Amino acid sequence: MDYLTNPTSRKDLRRLAPYLRKLFDVASTGAFPVLMVLEKLSDVFKNCNYEIVEDSKLPAKTMARCFQNDDGGFTIEIKESVYVGAYEKGIGAYLGFIAHEICHIFLFKIGFKPIYERSFDNNKLPAYCSVEWQAKALCAEVMIPFDESKGMKHKEILDRYHVSKAFADARLKLERL
């Protein structure tokens, strides 16, 4: 499911990434401490929180999700297996799923709200005005600072930033553009 929002570019999202890091008092370089940021979520964004839920509560292909709560903020639900994999094993993909949901909240708070209630199937909207694409792109920029990672090899990106292979692949692809 996806929603239409205000258009933006990858370069603009890259410029926003340091602000998200700064909001959570995270260094502008190095690995993004996803779980530490998750713990600070309610301190930075009023009425926003997270819950670890049984895996069966969310659809099979949904690792985490973010929704507006009754307090006027957002709640992130994270599958227990995802949280445990991120916390105990540092699995890059699981850290990325959680960071992606944090990026949704940040983008919403700075004005990238759905333009109207109608949802679309994934890949039906142009990327630049897709809520899902914007959160994914911002997440990648936050987790792998672009300028710092220039010229790095795949393994270096994996080791330094604790991201998934897919995120590292996508980052290297951007360097070739």
The tens digit of pLDDT for each residue in 111-146 reads 998 886 666 666 678 889 999 999 999 999 999 999
Q: What total number of domains does the chain contain?
A: 1
3-state helix, strand, coil in the chain (%, to 5): 55, 10, 35
Is residue 71 a part of any domain in this protein? yes
> Averaged over 30-56, what is the pLDDT?
98
CA distance 151 to 7: 29
Identify which has the larger pLDDT, 6 or 1: 6
pLDDT of 113: 87
CA distance 59 to 43: 29
E-state strands within 11-166: 49-53, 64-68, 74-79
Is residue 5 a part of any domain in this protein? no
Q: Between β-strands 64-68 and 74-79, what pairing exists: parallel, antiparallel or unpaired?
A: antiparallel
Longest Cα–Cα distance of the chain, Å, equals: 46
Is residue 121 a part of any domain in this protein? no
pLDDT of 120: 66
pLDDT of 175: 81
pLDDT of 82: 98
> Averaged over 17-26, what is the pLDDT?
97
Is residue 123 a part of any domain in this protein? no
CA distance 100 to 117: 21
E-state strands within the chain: 49-53, 64-68, 74-79
CA distance 79 to 64: 6
Is residue 67 a part of any domain in this protein? yes
CA distance 12 to 146: 12
What mean pLDDT, rounded, does the chain reach? 94
Is residue 132 a part of any domain in this protein? no
Q: Which whole-number Å values give the CA distances from 50 to 79, 86, 103, in the listed order?
A: 11, 15, 13
pTM reported for the whole predicted model: 0.94
Q: Which domain holds residue 73?
A: 10-114+139-176
Is residue 171 a part of any domain in this protein? yes
Is residue 100 a part of any domain in this protein? yes
Res. 94: pLDDT tops 70: yes
